[in-house]
Chains A and B, each alone.
Chain A
Amino acid sequence: MNRNTGFIGWFLDPKRRGPLLIAPAIILLLLVNIVPLMWSLGLSFFKFRANQMKPPSFSWFYNYEKMLTKENIWESLQTTGIVVASSVFIQMILGFALAMLFAKKFPLRRIILMLVLTPMMLSYVAVGIFFKLFYEPEFGLLSQFIQIFTGEMYVLLATPAGALLGVIVADAWQWTPFVMLLSLAGLVSVPKYLYEAAEIDRISWWRQFTTITFPYVRSLLLLAVLFRTIETFKIFDLVYILTNGGPGTATETIAVLVYRMAFQYFRTSNSTALGYILIFIVIVLTSLYLYVIKKRESADI
């Protein structure tokens, strides 16, 4: 039996096959993800603009301090908070209601379900353009409809509140089906015999809902809240296309502000610092949700 010796033998040892096989993926991940991430983290401690020849100069936490003391950043975070809270709330209510509806059998259920799921399969850009045309004061459907009653064009995006509402409705329209899908998965997993037993015991609908239905879907709903909160926190495309952050800065979410800072103002190190502040917020939110889920699970046990 001819066995390899030396380096080749060491390299081809069966003990190393596992690490060897996953090594390309790890290297790729390091190159395209971890290295740029570390690079940008480093940049956030320097003064640097990508469009200027000046070499970076070390500035400790100057960029973080600057970002956290800027009034417009807090305003932007507040706007993002309003969008996240409102949109996720609407998505949860409507998504769950739709799931309750589709959990029952009725004619053409599958086809209607497929149509209801369509918005979440569209790109943000397509949804943004669709709603921009929908809200358009001259020929948009919304304005045309309101014009029937008022005789005047209706310009939804002209006021801060209207523009925020426009963004929230568009985001909720696109992502309610996602919440519905998760809720539906929970609802169909509820054992039928529980409802049958409840029927025999003549338990009210509300009691059935609170003691049987909701506990089964609760963890999936929390997962939906987690996913949608993180995603909505990063909302960019929809806002950029629909309102460009306007009127004024009324709908300028934090992701839009980071984009402007990085690629329009070329405040590279400022934008990386702000990016890391955002990552920190998202990590805190995620941990909070996971903590809540874990606490409820242990309470259930």
Chain B
Amino acid sequence: MIKSLKNFLLVALATLMLVFGTTKIAFSKTVEIVMAAPDWPPTRFMQEYFNTNFQQSGDNEIKLTLDFIPWGDFYTNVAASLTSGEQKYSMLVSDSQWLGAFIEGGYFQKLNKYIDADPELGAIFDDMHQGYKEGYTTYPYKSTNYYGFPQFPDNYVNFYRTDIFCNPDENAAFRAKYGKKLPCTYADWEIIVWDDIFDINAFLTRKKGDMMAGKPLDDDIYGMAYQAGKGYDFSSMQINGFFWQYGGDIWDESNQPNAQAEGVVNSDVNVKAFEKYLDLLGTMHPSHKTGNMDIFGIQALYLEGKIASMVNWVGLGAPVVDPKLSKVHDVTGYARQPGTMQDDGTISRWANLGGQPFVLTTWMTDDEIDAAFKIIKWWLDFDTQIAAVKAGGQSCMKSIIYSDGYNALAPWNAAYVASMDWQKDVWHIPEFFELLTQQQEEFDKAITGQKSAKDALDSIAAFQQEILEEAGRIQ
């Protein structure tokens, strides 16, 4: 009797599980958000994590579909889609520089009224790190007109080979030659300035067959490398940091129409800073002469063990620790990038902000806007952000980056967080691509020895002055 009752209960339970387990919540309709996204790990993670962890709520089922586009074609594809009027995307990942161009074109949705009306969105904005909020959301730059939320915040860190920099024999040899320590720990790197890299690069540049850290080298090796790429914004991102660290500046769009380009972009300070960048570049891997030592170029060199250190975005860190991709996955340390010593003995570490916000387009329906904000709240939620950081992403929400244990979530987190207060952004104006392309070409002429630093900066300043005057941004 007991046995048959038990069997009956088991069958009943199984039936109930079958019925309720397969019953879907009835939604009135499905709202699909199609988002243009660069094809790389932070956005891939977003799609995968959404598919498995997003909790549906409300009457409509929300579907997020990321349209992955290779980085090299991303701007062109997005620009073509927006300007053609096809209205394919409801949301898209945008570089902060693109904000002005696409806001003026009428494609990006202004968010102020939604933020003012929704305390949760307001709280998200209050929680964002100020420098990142200005960079990712404002147009004009540093205004109170908001357009975006952080999809993937980023800044530079220094990736370095601990098996070389911490090798006792190399340290002893370096000390004997230069009278100082080869930086090994995070604390050691904190006092390193760009001038120190000349010695480090001279010391670590060795030929195939030479000894390095007790082993014969199977290939040539070079010291530190940073960006020197003609494409997109590669050289500018590093060189802008040099300008700011030396006390110089780029054209200040937040001070229109009074801010000038001539006299600022080609100031003596900027020329000195650019000369330092070029001098140091001369000690780096020869591929900089091709204009291809960009973020992917130096990443490839580092993963193959051909350079001892690289200054690169955190977003490119995940492959470094992947044993399938990296020869140095278990011998890499992380620090802040070097800075420039100031007269008062402090080190300036200004750098160009990296990362991207995501934005809403102006043709979204009310249902789509509602769905988009649910996705944004989910993405910037504490647990999602922590999961993203664990997967190689980053956050710029103060409640997260300053939370206990954050620095232990990824090996580069300490360097990332410590660098956050030293970020400035490049222009957000619609003319940015023209300014950027001409600047990249002139930087490349200086990098490849066709022009002096001064001549290149004079040309950039004159061009920017003309374009910005024509656009009415300089009087």
Contacts and interface: CB of A to CB of B under 8 A. Distances in A.
Is chain B found bound to chain A in the same assembly?
Answer: yes
Interface of A: 49-53, 137-138, 153, 155, 157-160, 243-250, 252, 260, 263-267
Contact of B437 (A53, A250, A264): A264
Tell me the dominant secondary structure on chain B's binding face.
helix
A242 to B, nearest CB: 10
18 contacts: A51-B79, A51-B104, A52-B104, A138-B301, A138-B306, A153-B220, A160-B450, A244-B230, A245-B441, A247-B447, A247-B450, A248-B441, A252-B441, A263-B79, A264-B76, A264-B434, A266-B83, A267-B434
Interface stretch (B2-10, B18-26, B282-290): B282-290
A157 B104 CA distance: 38
Nearest to A247: B448
Contacts of B102: 51
B367 to A, nearest CB: 26
Contact of A157 (B75, B290, B431, B441): B290
Interface string B246-263: 000000000000000000
A82 to B, nearest CB: 16
A136 to B, nearest CB: 8
A247 B444 contact: yes
Nearest to A54: B104
B446 to A, nearest CB: 8
A259 to B, nearest CB: 9
Nearest to A152: B286
A123 to B, nearest CB: 16
Interface string B287-308: 1011100000000010000100
Interface of B: 75-76, 79-80, 82-83, 101-102, 104-106, 220, 230-231, 286-287, 289-291, 301, 306, 430-431, 433-434, 437, 441-442, 444-445, 447-451
Contacts of B101: 51, 266
Nearest to A263: B76
With most chain B CB atoms within 10 A of its CB, the pick from A53, A138, A159 is: A138
A150 to B, nearest CB: 12
A249 B447 CA distance: 12
A247 B235 CA distance: 13
Q: 8 closest Cβ contacts across the A-B interface?
A: A248-B445, A158-B289, A247-B448, A265-B434, A51-B105, A246-B291, A246-B230, A155-B289
A155 B287 contact: yes
A159 B207 CA distance: 24
Contacts of A264: 75-76, 79, 433-434, 437
B80 A263 contact: yes
A157 B76 contact: no
A282 B286 CA distance: 40
B406 to A, nearest CB: 37
Contacts of B449: 159
A172 to B, nearest CB: 21
B287 A260 contact: no
Given A50-B83, A264-B433, A266-B101, A158 B290 contact: yes
Nearest to A252: B441
A260 to B, nearest CB: 6
A229 to B, nearest CB: 27
A260 B231 CA distance: 12
A159 B433 CA distance: 25
With most chain A CB atoms within 10 A of its CB, the pick from B75, B83, B441, B444 is: B441
Contacts of B82: 51
A267 B431 CA distance: 10
A249 B445 contact: yes
Contact of A137 (B79, B287, B433): B287
B450 A248 contact: yes
Contacts of B306: 138
Contacts of A244: 230-231, 291
Nearest to A53: B106
Nearest to A49: B430
Nearest to B105: A51
Contacts of B80: 263
B111 to A, nearest CB: 19
A248 B438 CA distance: 9
A244 to B, nearest CB: 6
A138 B287 contact: yes
A158 B448 contact: yes
B105 A248 contact: no
Nearest to A138: B287
A195 to B, nearest CB: 51
Contacts of A50: 83
A155 B290 contact: yes
Contacts of B437: 260, 264-265
B287 A265 contact: no
A266 B291 contact: no
A140 to B, nearest CB: 10
A248 B434 contact: no
Contacts of A263: 76, 79-80
A128 to B, nearest CB: 13
A50 B286 CA distance: 40
A249 B147 CA distance: 35
Contacts of A158: 289-290, 448
B459 to A, nearest CB: 10
B396 to A, nearest CB: 28
Nearest to B445: A248
